[in-house]
Amino acid sequence: MRNRIGFTFLIIALLAPGIGLKAQDKPYQDVAKTIIDSALVNQKAYYLLRELTSQIGGRLSGSPQAAAAVEWGRQTFMKTGADRVFLQPVMVPHWVRGPQETAAVVNSSQLGTVPLTITALGGSVATPSGGLTAEVVEVKSLKEAEALGEKARGKIVFYSRPMDRRLRQTFPAYGGAVDQRVAGPSVAAKVGAVAVLVRSMTTRLDDVPHTGTLHYMEGVKRIPAAALSTMDSELLSSLLKKEPHLRVHMEMSPRWLPDVLSYNVIGEIRGSEKPEEIVLLGAHLDSWDLAQGAHDDGAGVVQVIEALRLIKKLGLKPKRTIRGVLYMNEENGLRGGLAYADSSARKGWRHIAALESDAGGFTPVGVGVSAPDSIVKSIARWSYLLKQINADRIGKGGGGADISPLKKFGVPMLGLRVVSHRYFDYHHSALDTFDKVNPRELELGAATMAIMAYVLAMEGI
């Protein structure tokens, strides 16, 4: 009797979920482990990032470096063994920074002439020849700028609202401050300002200015606009409290050139059973010109390439097509993303999901999903595959700028989630260099994308 009871308990244990049937209950577990092992051992994404950043560097749309990056991307996709590699033409803007970027307080009774560290905002017009000198008026918001009225006429408007350090996540902090950079110049121009200074979009206190695109409003005079380092922003604010008639001299020499033909770079692994259904992995190939564009978005580019390489190298045969898209012109126009969406509509491409990496090559913590709750739940059921690297937080809220034009077609938007506390230390600045990227963190992000792409290509949504 004792033996029969023991045998009965043994059978129950073997049949219990998560014990005897663990392998059956958790499909793709071994595949996920193999993908992660291969990524960490080979460190291919890290080597690719070194190529992209050290051999090509900053890749602003329209530049020779952007053209070189397109060819690099095409050749690198081919080396992965992708079943198909092709270029998608797109006309992109061509803005050139120019050699002159200087500013200084010129009449401080306390300090005399004080140099300020600036960089032109992307798309800014130049100052007049020889620069401009004007009094500075400080505001904390677009509403405050609008309310200045005649008080702003002939002056430099200084937007000084910092990113909110109290927020636990840095992207909402960025979103809460970036309107000053994007719309601030035109809002100031409407009330007669002659130029704009904007506190850099970073939580870090340093002397490195961070650029980024602005958008001039139609029918509003275009005035020069520059980012001011956070340390100099603090200094200027403190001086203005004591000397409200402080004057600043600015000189910048950016210029616009005619649009340039460029390309999105596309590589794919063709699905074995449903090739017409596509799982898209996306990142943007262009970057700002101040540094190497390592985190923004070289990291995402090599993660997309490495995800395809891992799947191909390991001999995996996805049922649906996995397509990697390296978009051009995310930083100052989004024309690559718009062109891809237009082609998708015309050619009838059917995307079941789109996953973007554009938050830097930091430690992955999961995947955000913008889709109906039922789809979020369906995707989240695979979170156990990422638990072994603590990247299993799959929940509501995700996507990316380049894949966003596909949303109108009902495509679920996914975004790689990472630990983002350091991202805006480097974002859009001269600090965004290869040495800031940790190889293990980068490779784990690539593995996360490969696992998600493969399981979605196998099982659908």
Supply the residues annotated as catalytic.
330
| Consecutive H or E run containing 416 | strand 413-418
Residue with tokens 């980012």: 227
Q: Cα–Cα distances in Å, from 308 out to 45, 450, 453?
A: 11, 7, 9
Strand order through the sheet with 274-284: 84-96, 255-269, 320-327, 274-284, 350-356, 413-418, 364-370, 393-396
For residue 456, what is the enclosing H or E element?
A: helix 439-459
- Long-range Cβ contact pairs of 235-243 (< 8 A, separation 24 or more): 235/114, 235/116, 236/105, 236/116, 236/136, 236/138, 236/158, 236/160, 236/197, 237/138, 237/158, 237/160, 239/105, 239/108, 239/110, 239/111, 239/114, 240/136, 240/138, 240/158, 242/110, 243/108, 243/109, 243/110
Residue 213's beta-bridge partner residues? 122
Q: What gap in Å lies between CA 275 and CA 320, rounded to an integer?
A: 5
Contact 277, 460 (CB under 8 A): yes
| Nearest C-alpha neighbor of 397 from the set 171, 164, 165 | 171
Contacting residues for 265 by C-beta, under 8 A, at least 6 apart: 70, 73, 74, 77, 85, 87, 88, 285, 325, 326, 328
Asked if the bond preceding 432 is cis, omega within 30° of 0, the reply is no
* Dist. CA 446–CA 44, nearest whole Å: 10
- Contacts (Cβ under 8 Å, ≥6 apart) of 204: 230, 424, 425
Q: d(Cα 71, Cα 44) in Å, to the nearest integer? A: 19
* Strand bridging mode 413-418 / 364-370: antiparallel
Rounded to the nearest 10°, the torsion over CA 389, 393, 397, 399 is: 20
CB 402 within 8 A of CB 336: yes
CA 427, chain centre distance (Å):
9
